[in-house]
Structure 1
Amino acid sequence: MSHTPHHQFPEDFLRPDDRSPTEGIDESFVFSYDTYADELGEGRRWSRWEDLEALMKGPEPRPDWVVTSSGAIDTDLGILKTGKEANVFLLEREDPHVSGSDVVMAAKRYRDTDHRTFHRAAAYTEGRSMKRSRDERALKRKSTWGKQVAAGEWAISEWNALRRCWELGLPVPYPVQIDGTEILMEWITVDVDGVIETAPRVAQVRPEREVVEGYYEQLRDALATLVQAGLVHGDLSPYNTLAAGDRLVVIDLPQVVDLVGNPRGMDFLLRDCANMCAWFRSRGLEVDEHDLFGELMAHAF
C-alpha cells in the first residue's frame, strides 16, 4: 500500500495571519487604493458631463456658472419640491480643484414608473411632430440620445422644450443636462435679506402694483414668442411660474404642444390665458383672457 508523503511546511507558513501580506516584497511594488465610490460617500457622485452626448447638454453659449469639469462632484442637498410625475432636488456641483466653482442647481427626477405615462398624455401628444432634425438623425444612428428620444419619455419632452424656449430667449431656467430621467437646470432664486432662497411661485406672492404690471408685460411677451414659434405651454398657471424678484420665470414644460398640429392647441392657449389672467385680476389688474388670446392670435398668423 502506498502512502501520500506528508510534507513538512515551515511553522510560520502554516500561520499566515502572523505575517504581513507585503513582508519580503520590495516597497516600490506596494501600493494602496480606495475606490471612488467609497471616497465620495452617500449622496455624492462624479459628474457625468464628459460622458454625455452633445444633445444631452445645454445650448451654447453656456452661462459662466455651468461647471463642465470632468473632475467635478455632484452632491445631493435635499428635496425641493414633490410632484405627481417628478420630484425636484437641490444638487451642488463643484470641481474640488477649482476654488469658488461650486454651483447649486435644480435636479428634476421623473419617477421611473410614471415618466412614460404622464397624466393627460394623449391630449398633449396628439399632433406632436419631430421638429428637430437632429433628433431624427439621432434616432437613425441609434445613439444614446436617439434611444432616449425613441423611448418617448416625458423627461425628453421637457428637455427639448427647455432647450427650445431658452434658444428663443424665453424666461425659463437654463437647461444644463439630461441623463436618463434626470434634468439638471438653473436654480431660480431670490435674495431675502442676504439669504438665497428658492423663488416662490407667483400664486404665493402679493407684489406691488408696479411689479404686477411688469409681470403681465413679461407674460404677454413670453406667450407671444411661444405662439410665433407655433408652441403653447399647455399647463400655464400661477403655480408653475416663479416670481424671481421683478422677473417672471416659466417652469414645468413637459406638456408643451404644437399650436396648430394639436387639435386642442387653441383650447390650451385660451386656458393658459384664463389661468394667468385670473391671478392678475386678483392682484388688481384689469385684464381679460379673451383680449389676451386675440392679441396672441394676431402674432400667430
Structure 2
Amino acid sequence: MTHDTPSEISDLDPSFVFDFETYDDLADGQRWSTWLDVEPLCRGPQPRPDWVVTSQAAVDTELGILKTGKEADAFLVERAVPGSSAPGESVIMVAKRYRSNEHRTFHRAASYTEGRSVKRSRDERALKRKSTWGKIVASSEWAISEWDALKRCWALGLPVPYPVQIDGVELLMEWITDDEGESAPRLAQTRPDPALLASYFDQLRDALVTLVGNGMVHGDLSAYNILAAGDRLVIIDLPQVVDLAGNLAGHEFLLRDCTNVCTWFRSRGLEVDGDELFAELLAYAF
C-alpha cells in the first residue's frame, strides 16, 4: 500500500479536489431528500421558485400534522441542508399523503373520473371491481390527478400552491402562510371587512373564469378548500378536478361550486348569486 506524498498532492488538478462533510445517522422522523429519487416529470414545473430545495444533501424532517382528512392527511415537512444557512437550502412544505385502502371518494369516484383514462388495463379492471388492489390504484390515481391539476393550474397563473414533487401517494407542495408566517386559515374561518370580502370574490371569480375557459371545474369548491393568505386567496384540494366538456356532469359540478361559494359570501354580507355566477362562467366555456 502506498501513500501520496505532499508534493504529489499539491500537483493534483484543483478540479479534482472538493470538500465534504459527513453526517450522523438521521433521527426518527427524518429521511434524505427524495428530490432526486423521483423521475424528472415528477418534479415541479419550470421556472421553479427560488425556495425549492434541490440539493442532494438535504434532509426532510417531519414537523407535525397540519390537517387530517377522510382521503388524505397533510403534514408539514422541512427540507433543509444540515448546517447551511445559504438562501434556497431550507424550506417548509406541505406533504399531502393519500391513503391506500380507505379513500373517501372511492365509492363516488365514477362521477368525477368520467372521461379520464387509466394507463394499464389491469388497473382499470381492478378499479371497476373495487378490489383491494383497485383501492390502492385509486389512491395513487387521485394523487396523480391532483399533481396534474396543480401543474396545469400553476402554468395558467392560477392561485394554487406550487407543486414541488410527487412520489407514489405523497404530494409535496408549497406551504401557504398568512402575513404572520403561520398556516393560512381556510376562507370559512375568516370574517373579512367589506372591502376585502369584495376583493376576495373578485379574485375567486377571475380564477373560475380561467378554470372554465380552459375546460376545468374544481368539482368540490367551497370556503373550506380556499385559503385566505393575507389579502389573496389560494385554491387547494384539486384531486377531483372535472373536465367540463368530457364529463356529463361537468355543468352540474360547476353550478354546485358556484352555489357553494356564493352562499358563503352572502353569509358574510356580499350580495352575490350562484346562478348568475354560473351563467357568467358559461360564457367563457370553450
Q: Give TM-score scaled by structure 2 length.
A: 0.82
Give 2:115's aligned amino acid.
G
| Structure 1 unaligned residues grouped into runs of 5+ | 1-25, 29-34, 137-147
CA distance 1:118–1:239, shift in 2 (3 Å): same
Tell me, what secondary structure is at the counterpart of 2:48? coil
Give 2:77's aligned amino acid.
L
| CA deviation after TM superposition for structure 1 residue 98, in Å | 3.2
Q: 1:180 aligns with which of 143, 168, 186?
A: 168
Does structure 1 conserve the Cα–Cα contact (< 8 Å) formed by 2:70 and 2:104? no
| CA deviation after TM superposition for structure 1 residue 114, in Å | 2.9
| CA deviation after TM superposition for structure 1 residue 152, in Å | 5.6
Whole-angstrom distance in 1 between the partners of 2:246 and 2:38: 31
Whole-angstrom distance in 1 between the partners of 2:103 and 2:153: 21
**1:13 maps to what in 2?**
none
Does structure 2 conserve the Cα–Cα contact (< 8 Å) formed by 1:115 and 1:155? no
Does structure 2 conserve the Cα–Cα contact (< 8 Å) formed by 1:149 and 1:156? no
**1:67 maps to what in 2?**
53
| CA deviation after TM superposition for structure 1 residue 113, in Å | 1.3
CA distance 1:226–1:122, shift in 2 (3 Å): same
Confirm whether residue 251 of structure 1 aligns to residue 236 of structure 2. yes
Q: 2:158 aligns with which of 166, 170, 174?
A: 170
Tell me, what secondary structure is at the counterpart of 1:191? coil
Give 1:113's aligned amino acid.
N
Give 1:86's aligned amino acid.
A
Confirm whether residue 124 of structure 1 aligns to residue 112 of structure 2. yes
| CA deviation after TM superposition for structure 1 residue 96, in Å | 1.9
| CA deviation after TM superposition for structure 1 residue 41, in Å | 1.3
**1:77 maps to what in 2?**
63
Whole-angstrom distance in 1 between the partners of 2:159 and 2:116: 23
**1:223 maps to what in 2?**
208
Q: Give TM-score scaled by structure 1 length.
A: 0.78
Does structure 2 conserve the Cα–Cα contact (< 8 Å) formed by 1:128 and 1:257? no
Does structure 1 conserve the Cα–Cα contact (< 8 Å) formed by 2:243 and 2:250? yes
Between the two proteins, what is the percent identity of the paired residues? 68
| Number of corresponding residues | 250
Following superposition, which runs of at least 4 residues in structure 1 exceed 4 angstroms of deviation? Answer: 148-152
Q: Could you list the per-position Cα deviations for residues 139-171 of structure 1 after superposition, in whole angstroms to 9, with x for gaps in the alignment?
A: xxxxxxxxx999862111111111111111110
Whole-angstrom distance in 2 between the partners of 1:273 and 1:234: 10
1:1-301 equivalences under 5 Å are: 39-96=25-82, 98-100=84-86, 101-115=89-103, 118-128=106-116, 153-192=141-180, 196-301=181-286
Whole-angstrom distance in 1 between the partners of 2:115 and 2:97: 26
Whole-angstrom distance in 2 between the partners of 1:246 and 1:176: 24
| CA deviation after TM superposition for structure 1 residue 48, in Å | 1.4
CA root-mean-square deviation? 2.4
Whole-angstrom distance in 1 between the partners of 2:105 and 2:279: 33
Give 1:128's aligned amino acid.
R
